[in-house]
Amino acid sequence: MGIAVAVVGASGYAGGELLRLLGAHPTFDIVAATAHRNAGAPVHSVHPHLVSLGLTFAPTEPAALAGADLVFLALPHGESAALAAQLPATTRIVDLGADFRLSDAALWARYYGGTHAGTWTYGLPELPGQRELIKQADRVANTGCYAVATTLALAPLIAAGVADPDDVVVVASSGTSGAGRNLKAHLLATEVMGDLSGYKVGAHQHVPEIKQATGARGLSFTPILAPMPRGILATVTARPTGDIDAAGVRAVLAAAYDGEPFVTVLPEGAWPHTAATYGSNAAHLQATVDIDSGRIIVQSAIDNLGKGAAAQAVQCANLMCGLPETAGLSALGVAP
Ligand SMILES: NC(=O)C1=CN([C@@H]2O[C@H](COP(=O)(O)OP(=O)(O)OC[C@H]3O[C@@H](n4cnc5c(N)ncnc54)[C@H](OP(=O)(O)O)[C@@H]3O)[C@@H](O)[C@H]2O)C=CC1
Ligand SMILES: CC(=O)N[C@@H](CCC(=O)OP(=O)(O)O)C(=O)O
């Protein structure tokens, strides 16, 4: 028998990717897809690739979600808490927004502003012990997109004691869908194409999330907007705590992700490509040690709408519902 699920904010990019994945899921049945300004419109008017689902956007209100056993929230920051409070305690929720990710209310206020809604179980199954917590949780806060790319690269190195948690530098590029579907002046196609530019430099909201998830204390993070629809490539460098070579760093990552279905440490010499993770729940990692500075370098690639948002949310929902973790998901990207 199927499990009834609803997608709130289904007219957005993350919500649309959720519908695409759920539409092909072996157990989850979509019983509602809600929108705000697009309520009442057919789903294909926003997401033409989803026409065969035959869905119409319902208004975002609790009544529309009454038949769902599990609800995915894909709303702008600050909009999840009020709706979540109106849903029965028996309804499982995965929130793709940031509202419930941070445990420190002061950091929430500093980076997001407004009132801290609370803290839910963090939805990154590959962190040590986290998979078991997600299995037992009714409320899960899915990761930020840059946060998952960076955390997968960094967390094992800090946990193993080979990287100095006080000296981490991250430079990460994201495709434009990471900014959401609502038209923003800096995302005009004519201006984004053929351009690379930094934004939120020195003050990105994923810094406290990455520090919370990895144990990093000193973290410089620079995001770059890249002229592609999807994908994140994060370059993480850290000062080693002692003598370590490329093989040693690779061994730490390989041990951390041994048996993980979605995280691959690439064969030696191969470096991650965002395009190789397109449309999938994959994360690809590679590492070395800089021959000049001696810093550890790890690169990671994900699809920001996949492992960075919707596919990871489905992975968490699978765990919460006692399903095979990989149900309805793939680690194989689309290419070319
Ligand atoms: N894009 C990404 O790569 C990632 C996104 N996320 C998070 O997922 C969430 C959704 O992001 P994304 O899909 O990119 O955003 P979009 O802007 O593409 O979509 C936002 C959705 O929320 C709806 N919405 C907007 N305002 C309101 C409101 N006041 N009340 C109720 N619904 C509203 C929109 O409806 P309508 O358009 O019909 O008005 C739309 O369905 C965000 O919290 C984001 O941070 C997390 C990781 C990665
Ligand atoms: C390109 C771009 O603008 N990306 C967004 C990513 C936001 C995101 O997806 O993460 P949250 O859920 O934490 O907002 C940004 O840098 O703010």
SS3 106: helix
Q: Which CATH architecture has domain 3-143+310-320?
A: 3-Layer(aba) Sandwich (3.40)
- Predicted pLDDT of residue 188: 82
pTM, entire model: 0.98
Candidates 272, 335, 332, 274; CA nearest to 303 is 274
- Predicted pLDDT of residue 163: 98
Q: Is the CB of 248 under 6 A from ligand 1?
A: no
CATH topology for 146-306?
Dihydrodipicolinate Reductase; domain 2 (3.30.360)
Kindly give, in sequence order, each residue whose CB lies less than 8 Å from that of residue 227, ignoring residues fewer than 6 positions away: 176, 192, 193, 194, 195, 196
The rounded Å distance from CA 160 to ligand 2 centre is: 29
Q: Is the CB of 97 under 6 A from ligand 2?
A: yes
Q: Is the pLDDT of residue 186 over 80?
A: no
Mean pLDDT of all residues in 305-317 = 98
Q: Which of 7, 8, 13, 232 to mutate to test the pocket of ligand 1 (most atoms within 8 A of CB)?
A: 13
Q: Is 145 a catalytic residue?
A: yes
Q: Indicate which residue's Cα is closest to atom 12 of ligand 1.
A: 180
Domain boundaries, the chain: 3-143+310-320, 146-306
Mean pLDDT of all residues in 119-132 = 98
The rounded Å distance from CA 145 to ligand 2 centre is: 7
Q: Is the CB of 38 under 6 A from ligand 1?
A: yes
The rounded Å distance from CA 80 to ligand 1 centre is: 10
Of all atoms in ligand 1, which is nearest to the CA of residue 182?
Answer: 17
Q: Indicate which residue's Cα is closest to atom 10 of ligand 2.
A: 144
Cα 167 from chain centre: 24
Give dist(CA 49, CA 78) in Å, integer: 29
Mean pLDDT of all residues in 80-97 = 97
Candidates 214, 220, 216; CA nearest to 202 is 220
Mean pLDDT of all residues in 114-118 = 92
